[in-house]
Structure 1
């Protein structure tokens, strides 16, 4: 736990989990905007929309609840207990989930559920039904150098001149399996309202090493 700031004589605490700030940072910013602007809920909501680039903002009741929690406990987030995760879908929880997605859209359901202490089923319902988000898959594309564009065009023109009949061409493919942290698009999801068309460039020829026996023949 660290002290993130001081407001009205209270210390604002933000919990750290696994070396990273948890999603209470969003609620802390709302509380800070509330105090810095003359206890204005409307201004806090406006700054929240601008900060997270969203049309939605926490309701008046949610902000009042965060302020009461802050003034009573010195924290703007619930301290996670060892009990059963929450399964509610109220406005406060929806706002927490939305702030979490804004900060890290690629976080998995399991990890986000643990970070927010919400059931995975409830979290999935909030993402799909309340926030209307979809899980988009990252697209893996070949990394292109500056000289590749001209080379590809020259190759295509040469193939068109070399062959006249393309009806008997056989196209093949290959599959590679990596164990060195290579990006697997099956495990990469990006939660968003519309497809962000996120791409990950990778080299055409991966770095590999080959080892084999060395035979020395005597002369």
Structure 2
């Protein structure tokens, strides 16, 4: 904004209001772009997505989209970064005082399933990326591997202490991922089999029971 020709600055209130509206407007546009990008990428994957489709979903022109979001690579990379960060925070598995391994595993399954169903399109972006070879997410593999290894080491400590039946901890984690991820990736099939509003807690309890029994623990 060019400097005012007036010797006295305008009142602070008159300056702040336009800026607040500007920031609020930009934040709303970015949120709309994110929602459209998640929808389009989750349905078509990276290769099948066009910036024109994302722009139309956001109610923008392609030129406006490019101004706010940059290239398709940038937009997709930002979404993958969000997914990795959200998953790392949402799916932590750590020892907690006063909680048994059975309680912690049950809680882990519930959090994983609730996230999958509440964020189905985001989860399907990750799945589509895996089906395409995972090339765009390669930069995050070291971080994701480290997080998984930390969980596996905790499971192994519980096994060494006789708190869990001995199993391959990495395979156990991947079995949990597979059972919970199904409800996001096959949402259409789940809706046909169980209705539009599947009983999330009952499903999580069933998965948790399977996991605990496999670990030699009582599901009660």
Q: TM-score, normalised by structure 1?
A: 0.22
Q: Looking at secondary structure, tell me which structure has more helix per residue.
A: 2
Larger RCO of the pair (alpha carbons < 8 Å, separation 6+): 2
Q: Looking at secondary structure, tell me which structure has more strand per residue.
A: 1
Q: TM-score, normalised by structure 2?
A: 0.22
